[in-house]
Every structure is written in C-alpha cells, then in structure tokens.
Amino acid sequence: MSFWIYNIGMMQRKNFNINNIRFYRYQSFSGDLAQVKIYGHYYEQELGRTLRICKILYTLQNNVMTLDKIKVEADYQHLGIGSKLLEFMFEDCKKAKVKNIEGEFAPDDEAQGYAFYTKHGFEIREEVMADKLYKTLDFEDENE
C-alpha cells in the first residue's frame, strides 16, 4: 500500500475546506482483534487529481483501543484534520464502550507530537525508544 506525497505548498491552503475531504473506512476482524483504517482523500484543483492526505490506524483488543498510527501530510497540517481523525476513533471507543486508549510515537517529532496529543487529553510517558500515549475517555453510558 503506498502513501502519495505531493509538495503542494502553503499558498493553496487558503482555498482548503475540511468538509471536502472524503474519508474511507476499512475494518477487519480476527478473533477478538478489530482493526480500523481510515484514509482521507482530497481533490486538489490546482493539480487536477485526488490526493490521499491523511490516515489513522487503530485496533481494539481486550477492551483497549490502541492508536497505531496517525499521519497528516505536511501541507495539510494545522487545519483540524488530525483532530477529525481522532474524533472517528473516539466515536468508535464510545460505541464499543471502551474507555482506555494507548499508543506510542517515536520522539523524532517530539514538540509537535506532544502538543497534538496533550491537546487531545493524552497523558504522555517518556520511554527509551518511543513515548507512550495514554488516555481514559470520560463519557456517560447512554444506556444507564
């Protein structure tokens, strides 16, 4: 599976609308493991083609949601796309009544990573090879 990368430049962001991203969801199940992949595609008029600009991968197993990967192409960062991807995961947590999320990220992009994850309520614990992410969701069970 390839991930397309095009250098579009900051100038074109002024015409960007997050509502024009088309999100595609893929799910697979194996025993008690559920995997979800969501890709965001955006039609870039200046290039005349559709670009895959973001993705999130997460798994659910043993009542824990694990954030495996989240990526937004550099030209499309700071526009709310990463937050939208996390919303999809949080909604799946709510549907599955899962309150614990964990994950990790390599500290090569530490400053931006810390800011993004802490903004969304993750606790970050420093580790040797990768920093660990933890979040406990606080939502009411609608059936209670």
In a domain, 33, yes or no: yes
Q: Which is more confident, 81 or 3?
A: 81
Which own/partner contact pairs does 113-117 have at CB distance under 8 Å and 24+ positions apart?
116/82
In a domain, 89, yes or no: yes
Q: What percent of the chain has pLDDT over 90?
A: 32
In a domain, 113, yes or no: no
- Give the model's confidence band at 86: pLDDT under 50 very low, under 70 low, under 90 confident, else very high: very high
Domain of 16?
10-97
Distance CA 3, CA 22 (A): 16
In a domain, 133, yes or no: no
Q: Which is more confident, 44 or 84?
A: 84
Distance CA 6, CA 107 (A): 24
| Element housing 86 (H / E) | helix 81-96
In a domain, 108, yes or no: no
Spatial contact of 73 and 54, defined as CB atoms under 8 Å apart:
yes
In a domain, 63, yes or no: yes
Number of domains in the chain: 1
Spatial contact of 120 and 86, defined as CB atoms under 8 Å apart:
yes
Q: What is the pLDDT of residues 98-135, one digit of tens each?
A: 888 988 776 666 667 778 888 888 887 776 556 677 77
Could you count the other beta carbons within 10 Å of the beta carbon of residue 99?
16
pTM: 0.78
Q: What is the CATH number of the domain that holds 21?
A: 3.40.630.30
In a domain, 41, yes or no: yes
In a domain, 103, yes or no: no
Q: What is the dihedral of CA 44, 5, 77, 103, to 10 degrees?
A: 130
